[in-house]
Structure 1
Amino acid sequence: MSERATRDRIGLLRAALALTQERDVEKLLGRIMDEVTRVLDADRSTLFLYDSERRELFSKIAQRAEVTEIRLPIGRGLAGHVAKTGTAMAVDDVYDDPRFTPETDRSTGYRTKTVACAPLLTPDGRTVGVLEVMNKREGVFDPDDVKLLTAFAAFSAVAIENARLYDEDARKSMQIQALNRQLKDALERQTKRLANVEQELESSKRELGERFQARNIVGRAPAMVELQRLVDRVAGTDAPVLIQGESGTGKELLAKAIHFGSRRAAGEFVAENCAAVAETLLEAELFGHKKGAFTGADRDRQGLFEIASGGTLFLDEVGDMSLEMQKKLLRALQEGEIRPVGARDNRKVDVRILAATNKDLDVMMKEGTFREDLYYRLNVVRLRLPALRERREDIPILVEFFLDQIAKESGRPRATVSDRAMKALVRHGWPGNVRELQNEIRRAAIMADGLIDPEHLSPQVLGSAGADGMPTGGTLKGAKLALERKMIEAALKRTGGNVAAAARELGVHRPQLSVLIGKHKLARKGEEA
C-alpha cells in the first residue's frame, strides 16, 4: 500500500470517527464540510442537500462567506448532474465542461478550476444530497480522490440520516414530554374540579337527605303524625310501598322521604309518571333499548331501572299502566331482572320500588283493569296521604311554610296573611290539595304588598265566599245544589270517573249517586257530558 493510500485511509477513518460523535444536524453538516476539505486537500467544499418538495439541491457552504445559499434544479450544474445520475465524477477544468454553471463564480468573484463531486446515498439507495470539493491545492482531483470522496460521501449520508432521526426523535421526545406535562396539568385541574363537584354532590345529597326526612313532613294533624311514624318504620326496609292519595297531596315528596331515610339514600332516586309517557314508549323508558330496536333508536340507552339500580325507582300513577305493561313490570319485580327493548339477554338490577296512584286499585283489581299479582307485589306496605280538606288544621302551618319558602327563594321580605284571608283559605275545599295551596300562596304573595288579604286570593278560592268565608246572596237551596254538584264532580275526578269508588268516598250508595249524577247532568266514566 502506498504512502498516499495509507494517509488517505487514516484521514478517512479519523473523519468517520469524528462524524459518528456528532448528533446535532447543523453541527454535523459543518463538520462534514471541514473534514472533506481537509482529507482531500481542497480549497473549499460545498455540501448540497436534496429538497424533495421543490426537487432542488440547496447548499451548506464551508469557508465561503460570499454566498449564503445556492439552489440548483436536479440535473443542472455539476452537482445537479451527479444528483441525477447518482455517479461520482471529477472535472479538471470546469470552464471546459458545458455542465458547469459559472453564475456563482461571477456573483462571488471566486474562481473555480477543478471539482470533484459524489452523491450522498443512503444504504437503501436514496440520494439525500451531493458532496462537492473545489480547487485541489496541488494538481487536480484524480480517480483515487473520487474513490475517497465517494467513501466519505457514503458514511456522511448515513451520519446525516442518523443525526436527522436522532434530532427527530429528540423533537418528538420533547413534544411528548411537553404533552405529558400538559396532560398532567390538565388532569390535576380536572381532578381538583371533580373533587369539588363530588364535594358539592355529597353536600347536595346531605341537604336533600335532611330536607326530605320524615320529621320534615309538614303537618300536625293526627293522620300526618301517624304517617311520619310509618315512614320512619318502612324507610329502614327494602319493602315495596304503595302510596295512595289524590293528585297534589305530595306522593312524590313522601317517596323521597322514604328513600332518603333508607340505606339506599346514597343511590339514585328516579321518578317516572306512568300516565305521562305514551304506552308504546313506557317499556323502553323503564327497561332501556338497544340501537335500532325501533324507529328513532339511534343508540343504546339505559332504562330507569338500570339508572336507579342501587337506589329507588318511584312509579307515579301506576294505575294508568296497561295490562300488558303491568305484566312486564311484574316480571321485572319478581326476577330482579330487566330486558331492554331489542336485547336478547336479561340484566340484573337492584332497585327498591315505590309506587303511587290516585285511583282505587282494589276496585280496579275487581274490575279486571289491574293485575291482582302485581297489586300484591306492590302493596306490601300501603301509605295513604289524606286530602288537604281532611286535615284543615294543617292549612295555616302549610301557609306559613310556603311563605318562608317564597321569601327565601325571592330574597324579598316575608309576607303575612290576614285573619280574614286565612279563614277563606281554611274553608276552601282544595280539590288540587297541597299543590293548589302552594300555587295560591305564591300568587297571593306576588299580588299583595306584604299583607295578604281576601282580595289577593283567586276567585276559585273565594268562590261565593264573603270576607268571613260564608256565601253571600242566593238561596239556601241553590247553595246546597251547587255544593252537591261540586262535591260529586270532585269525587268523580279523583276516582277517574269510577262511580262505585266515588260513592264510597261520598258515603252514599252507588244507585243513589247514579241518580244524582243524572240529576246534575254530569259525565260518567267513558261518557261525554
Structure 2
Amino acid sequence: MKKTHTTILILDDNEEILIAARMLLKRHFETVITTTNPKKIPELLTKNPIEIILLDMNYRLGYEDGKEGIFWFKEIQKMAPQVQIILMTSYANIETAVEGIKLGAIDYVLKPWNNESLLQTIRGAVKQLRKKTPQIGISSEITFKGTAPSIQKVYQMADRVSKTDVNTLILGENGTGKYVLAKYIHDQSPRKEQAFIHVDLGSLNENLFESELFGYAKGAFTDAKQDTAGRFEMAHGGTIFLDEIGNVPLHLQSKLLQIIQSKSVIRLGESKTRPVDVRIITATNADIELEVEKKFFREDLYYRINTVVLMLPALRERKEDIPHFLDFFINQNAEKYDRIIPTIDGYTRQELCKYDWKGNIREMQNRVERAMILTDSETLSLTDFGISQLSIISHTDEASLQEIERISIVKAMEKNSGNISQAAMELGLSRAALYRRLEKHNIK
C-alpha cells in the first residue's frame, strides 16, 4: 500500500496512546512524529516539515479542563499558521474541543478513537492542504506588507536590519502587524533555518515569568517534574520575539536586562549559567519613551532593546492599502467557509476606506469574517461589517459633524425608500433615535 506523503506530529501525555497512534498512522502516512512534551513543539516545527498535528487537550495530572490544549493550539497557530490541527479529547472535554474548532482547528476526535474515522479525518486534512493555492491576483507581498509608501519604507529598513543581529524594537498600535514584521525579519536573516520563538509578555503571568523565559530544574517547584528549557533556550541559534515588552512589571525588567546583557540564562532551581545565542526582537504598542520618563520602564533596558526602531503606521495612515486587505480577507474567508466570493458595492468600499480602523488590520480581519458568516448576500454592506455610517465620522468639528450626520441620514432614507426600520438598522440606530434625528435636521 502506497503511503501518503505528509508529516504528522502527535502530542499526548500518555505514552501508550502515542504508540497506538503511531502504529496505526505509520502504515498510511510517510512520517509520524510523537512526543509527550508540548514544549518541544517549537523545535519540532523548526526541524520538520510538519503539515498535520494531532493535539491532546490535557498534559498535566489533575488538569482536565482542556485549557492547556487551547494554549498550545494558539501557540502553534502563531508559529505555523499553515499547519492543520486536529484536537484529541475525551467525551468530557467536547465543549473545549468545539472552542478549538471555532478558533480554527480542522476537526476533533474522541478518545478512544475509531481507526477508520481517524484515518478519514487525517486524509481530509491532507486533501484540504493540497487544495490550498495562492489567491488569484493577490500577492503575498500585498497581503503582509501592503503597497503604501509608508509601509514599504518600514520593510525596506527591515531588509537591511535582517542581515544583522542588532536588537530591534518594533512600535505600533495593536493590529498593525508587529508579529508579521518580526517574523519577516527572522525569515530574511541568516537564522531563518532556526527557531522563531514568540513570547506574549503581556499575557504572561508574573509568577510564571522566570520559569517560562529561563526554564527550570526538576524539583524547582511543586509541578516541576522534569528539567525544562525556557523560551530563550528554545530560541538558541534563532530569534526570540518579545511581544508587548512595555507590559513587563518594573521588578522583572532587571531580570530581562541581565539576560540580554549576558546572553545567558540560569534556570530556576539551578546555579549553572547556560549561554544562549539568540537574536532579540521586541515590540510594544505603548509610548515607551513616556514610560521611561515616568520611571515605569527602565532606561537602561530601553537603550538595550532599541538599537534599531521600526515604526509601523496605522491602517488609517495608509488608506490606499485598505481595498487590498479587504479583498484578501474576503477571498480567504470564502475559501475557509466554502462559499461564493461576495462583492462590496462602491459606496460601502468608499465608506470603509474612511473608517478609522482603531484595531487596524486585525479589526478588519475580524469584521470581514463576521460579514462572511452572518450574511448570505452576494453583496456586502456596511451593516454586514458591524459598522454604522455614523461611526465613520471622526476627527471633525461639531458643525461638520452635524452636516455629515444629516447627509448620512438623507442617503439612508433614500436608499431604503423612506422605510424607517431599514434606514435605522443601516445607520446603527434605534427607530426612536432616528425619529429624533429626522426632527432635529428637519428631514421630511
TM bracket, shorter-chain basis: 0.5 to 0.7
Task: Give distance in 1, aligned partners of 2:262 and 2:245.
Answer: 19
- Map of 1:212-227 to 2, 5 A cutoff? 217-227=144-154
- Map of 1:158-307 to 2, 5 A cutoff? 193=31, 201-202=48-49, 217-307=144-234
1:207 to 1:286, Cα distance in 2 relative to 1, 3 A: closer
Alignment partner, residue 178 of structure 1: none
Shift of 1:294: 2.4
Tell me the amino acid that sits aligned with residue 284 of structure 2.
Answer: T
Task: Give distance in 2, aligned partners of 1:306 and 1:228.
Answer: 28
* 2:184 aligned counterpart, secondary structure: helix
Alignment RMSD, CA only? 3.5
Task: Give distance in 1, aligned partners of 2:142 and 2:225.
Answer: 45
Say whether 1:462 aligns with 2:300: no
Task: Give distance in 2, aligned partners of 1:266 and 1:376.
Answer: 29
**Cα deviation digits, residues 396-438 of structure 1 (max 9, x gap):** 1110111122223333222221112112211111111110011
Say whether 1:451 aligns with 2:379: yes
1:331 to 1:315, Cα distance in 2 relative to 1, 3 A: same
Shift of 1:374: 1.2
Runs of 5+ unmatched residues, structure 2: 1-22, 34-43, 52-78, 83-132, 406-444
Which of 369, 381, 384 is the aligned partner of 1:442? 369
Task: Give distance in 2, aligned partners of 1:437 and 1:246.
Answer: 14
Task: Give distance in 2, aligned partners of 1:257 and 1:284.
Answer: 28
Tell me the amino acid that sits aligned with residue 399 of structure 2.
Answer: L
Tell me the amino acid that sits aligned with residue 379 of structure 2.
Answer: L
**Cα deviation digits, residues 205-242 of structure 1 (max 9, x gap):** 9997x999877633121111111211211111111110
Which of 236, 239, 244 is the aligned partner of 1:309? 236
Q: Is the 8 A contact 1:213 1:261 kept in 2?
A: no
Alignment partner, residue 18 of structure 1: none
Alignment partner, residue 398 of structure 1: 325
Alignment partner, residue 410 of structure 1: 337
1:233 to 1:203, Cα distance in 2 relative to 1, 3 A: farther
Say whether 1:353 aligns with 2:280: yes
Alignment partner, residue 431 of structure 1: 358
**Cα deviation digits, residues 144-188 of structure 1 (max 9, x gap):** xxxxxxxxxxxxxxxxxxxxxxxxxxxxxxxxxxxxxxxxx99x9
Task: Give distance in 1, aligned partners of 2:186 and 2:143.
Answer: 14
Alignment partner, residue 522 of structure 1: none
Query: What's the TM-score once normalised by structure 1's chain length?
Result: 0.49
Shift of 1:192: 5.5
Query: What's the TM-score once normalised by structure 2's chain length?
Result: 0.58
Shift of 1:462: 1.7
* 2:199 aligned counterpart, secondary structure: strand
* 2:48 aligned counterpart, secondary structure: helix
Shift of 1:358: 0.5
Tell me the amino acid that sits aligned with residue 48 of structure 2.
Answer: L
Task: Give distance in 2, aligned partners of 1:345 and 1:395.
Answer: 52
Task: Give distance in 1, aligned partners of 2:141 and 2:323.
Answer: 20
Alignment partner, residue 377 of structure 1: 304
Tell me the amino acid that sits aligned with residue 450 of structure 1.
Answer: E
1:341 to 1:262, Cα distance in 2 relative to 1, 3 A: same
Shift of 1:376: 1.4
- Identity among equivalent positions (%) equals 37
* 1:386 aligned counterpart, secondary structure: coil
4+ runs deviating over 4 angstroms: 188-192, 197-200, 203-208, 210-216, 477-480
Indicate the structure (1 or 2) with the bigger Cα radius of gyration.
1
Shift of 1:479: 5.4
Shift of 1:200: 10
1:298 to 1:463, Cα distance in 2 relative to 1, 3 A: farther
Task: Give distance in 1, aligned partners of 2:323 and 2:337.
Answer: 21
Greater relative CO (CA pairs within 8 A, separation 6+) = 2
**Cα deviation digits, residues 54-83 of structure 1 (max 9, x gap):** xxxxxxxxxxxxxxxxxxxxxxxxxxxxxx
Shift of 1:371: 1.4
Q: Is the 8 A contact 2:217 2:269 kept in 1?
A: yes
1:479 to 1:432, Cα distance in 2 relative to 1, 3 A: farther
Say whether 1:338 aligns with 2:261: no
* 2:240 aligned counterpart, secondary structure: strand
Task: Give distance in 1, aligned partners of 2:47 and 2:342.
Answer: 32
1:425 to 1:213, Cα distance in 2 relative to 1, 3 A: closer
Tell me the amino acid that sits aligned with residue 290 of structure 2.
Answer: V
* 1:237 aligned counterpart, secondary structure: coil
Task: Give distance in 2, aligned partners of 1:403 and 1:201.
Answer: 31
How many residue pairs get aligned? The number is 288
Say whether 1:387 aligns with 2:334: no
Q: Is the 8 A contact 2:46 2:194 kept in 1?
A: no
Task: Give distance in 1, aligned partners of 2:268 and 2:142.
Answer: 41
Tell me the amino acid that sits aligned with residue 171 of structure 2.
Answer: Q
**Cα deviation digits, residues 281-317 of structure 1 (max 9, x gap):** 1111100111222233233221001111111111111
- Map of 1:67-106 to 2, 5 A cutoff? none
* 1:464 aligned counterpart, secondary structure: helix
Task: Give distance in 1, aligned partners of 2:284 and 2:142.
Answer: 23
1:198 to 1:397, Cα distance in 2 relative to 1, 3 A: closer
